[in-house]
Amino acid sequence: MGEAPSPRSLQFPGGFLWGCATSAYQIEGAVTADGRGRTIWDTFAHTRGKTYKGQTGDVATDSYHRFAQDVKLLKELGAKTYRFSIAWARILPQGTGKPNDKGIAYYDRLVDELLKNDIAPYATLFHWDLPQALPGGWQSRDTAKAFGDYAGLVAKRLSDRVRHFMTTNEIVCFTDLSYKSGLFAPGLKLGDGAVNQIRHHAVLAHGLGVQAVRANATGGTQVGFAENPRVYVPVIETPEHIEAAKRAFRQENAPFISTVLEGKYPTEYLEREGANAPKIESGDMDIIGSPLDFVGLNVYQPEYVRADASKAGYAVDRRPTSYPHMASPWLFVGPEVMYWAVRSVTELWGPKAIYITENGCSGEDYRDAAGRIEDTDRVMFLRNYLTHLHRAVSENYPVKGYFLWSLMDNFEWVDGYGKRFGIYHVDFETQERHPKRSALWYREVIARNAVG
């Protein structure tokens, strides 16, 4: 027998940024406080039949009032960073026009509390809570322009303390899911031409946001976006399947991350859409392709792909019905997706830096007799995904940090409070927060800067 191989250390690089993520409508509540304007999610959640049991974000985790307690939870974990989102309708209740100082003051308080605790704020400017007052929502090109103005205003007011901004969160969700399948607010089911135009307005908004942050922020402020591209795992790690995965990644995310990082719509996409392709004005593509300081990736479920003799060169496999998933039926477990997300983006576009801006899972948590929540399924999920993130950093891909979704249970969009993603349990009656086993586990990961 030969010698046993040396144990592989799952140590992360020094300075790796561990954090947690949330978003405004999912946690803040206080939807009429201090002049906040109405958003399309307020309207949608209050429309009969749209969310689980008709639940809304009216109260959520009441973080508008309890933010200091949330920061304490982060501190307990030893988190170095916190990704939260800013509610556009708190800053500009009508989407445009006169800034609402009381809304800005909330984020001043949150940011100051984070900094006091040595936690670096990472702010998302738009996580789906579009001001209701903007005529036509994302159907209108004016909304992209309004977003740019809003982004510039926030940068001016916060960039003395917030050094990292993400423009948009998951473009496919607030375009396709919102205006094509109608599952998300505002719940429309439009045709292909209209949807492509909406996607165009969204990537344009992102680009205008990048430029506005740069024009208004103090020097050294970094700007990127947070995307949830479909990620393709090669069925076998052989060169032909790896090549297929790379092609699939670029093509299947064509109007979103591919267009933004190339500053150009992939030709195949424009050909495929023909007369339904977006109407592009001169100068748009330069704005859309504005260089980024980092790319944020929200990583959840995998797709499997293999090489194929077709023109596209790849074939996406349908999942067997026995394929395992977490409490959310869409959340298929496939930890390798973490590695392939990072590798695909790096090989295709070589960004300066990558953050995992979201990763985590829902679970059917329960309290045992002693009041503990032993969410071993979530620990299993996270440990495996982080093991594959370790593979990526050990191969020198430029991953700088990881944000766990989510700090605490919150309003899970159409699933209301029926799906829990937190590592802190929230009792929605009392608003009491309580660490699950996964929180204690994550604290160890952060303390040791290693997965175990």
Closest separation between CB of residue 410 and ligand GBH, Å?
7
Q: Please report where in the chains the tokens 């409508």 appear, as a residue.
A: 25
Contact 61/426 with Cβ under 8 angstroms? yes
Closest separation between CB of residue 421 and ligand GBH, Å?
6
Pick the closer one to ligand GBH by CB: 10 or 130: 130
Has 227 been annotated as catalytic? no
Has 273 been annotated as catalytic? no
Selected binder of ligand GBH within 17, 18, 23, 84 (CB under 6 A): 23
Selected binder of ligand GBH within 42, 70, 129, 170 (CB under 6 A): 170
* Residue 178 contacts ligand GBH per CB under 6 A: no
Pick the closer one to ligand GBH by CB: 23 or 81: 23
* Residue 175 contacts ligand GBH per CB under 6 A: no
Largest Cα–Cα distance of the chain, in whole Å?
75
Q: Give the other-Cβ count within 10 Å of 100's Cβ.
A: 19
Give the binding range for ligand GBH (CB under 6 A) out of 1-9, 170-178, 212-220, 365-373. Answer: 170-178
Record the tokens describing residue 97, joined without a space: 């026009």
Residue closest to ligand GBH, measured at CB: 330
Q: Which of 170, 252, 303, 412 is catalytic?
A: 170
Selected binder of ligand GBH within 33, 59, 133, 173 (CB under 6 A): 173
24-63: contacts with ligand GBH (CB under 6 A):
26
Mask for 253-292, x = binds ligand GBH (CB under 6 A): ----------------------------------------
Task: Give the containing element (helix H, strand E) for 166.
Answer: strand 164-169
Q: Report the C-alpha gap between 190 and 415 in whole angstroms.
A: 23
Q: Report the C-alpha gap between 412 and 420 in whole angstroms.
A: 8
Selected binder of ligand GBH within 143, 175, 221, 228 (CB under 6 A): 228
Omega of the bond prior to 406 within 30 degrees of 0, cis? yes
Pick the closer one to ligand GBH by CB: 153 or 173: 173
Pick the closer one to ligand GBH by CB: 12 or 147: 147
Contact 63/57 with Cβ under 8 angstroms? no
Q: Report the C-alpha gap between 44 and 54 in whole angstroms.
A: 10
Contacts of 419 (CB under 8 A, 6+ apart): 327, 328, 362, 412
Give the binding range for ligand GBH (CB under 6 A) out of 52-60, 118-126, 165-173, 426-434. Answer: 165-173
Contact 229/297 with Cβ under 8 angstroms? yes
Record the tokens describing residue 311, joined without a space: 């023109």
User: In 3D, which of 429, 431, 406 has the Cα closest to residue 419?
Assistant: 406
* Residue 169 contacts ligand GBH per CB under 6 A: yes
290-349: contacts with ligand GBH (CB under 6 A):
298, 300, 330
Contacts 24+ apart (CB under 8 A), 377-383: 377/326, 378/423, 378/436, 378/437, 378/438, 379/437, 379/438, 379/441, 381/326, 381/333, 381/335, 382/438, 382/441, 382/442, 383/441, 383/451, 383/452
Number of shown-chain residues binding ligand GBH (CB under 6 A): 15
Selected binder of ligand GBH within 44, 232, 249, 421 (CB under 6 A): 421
Closest separation between CB of residue 241 and ligand GBH, Å?
25
Q: Catalytic site residues? A: 170, 358
Binding site for ligand GBH (CB under 6 A): 23, 26, 169-170, 173, 177, 183, 228, 298, 300, 330, 358, 405, 412, 421
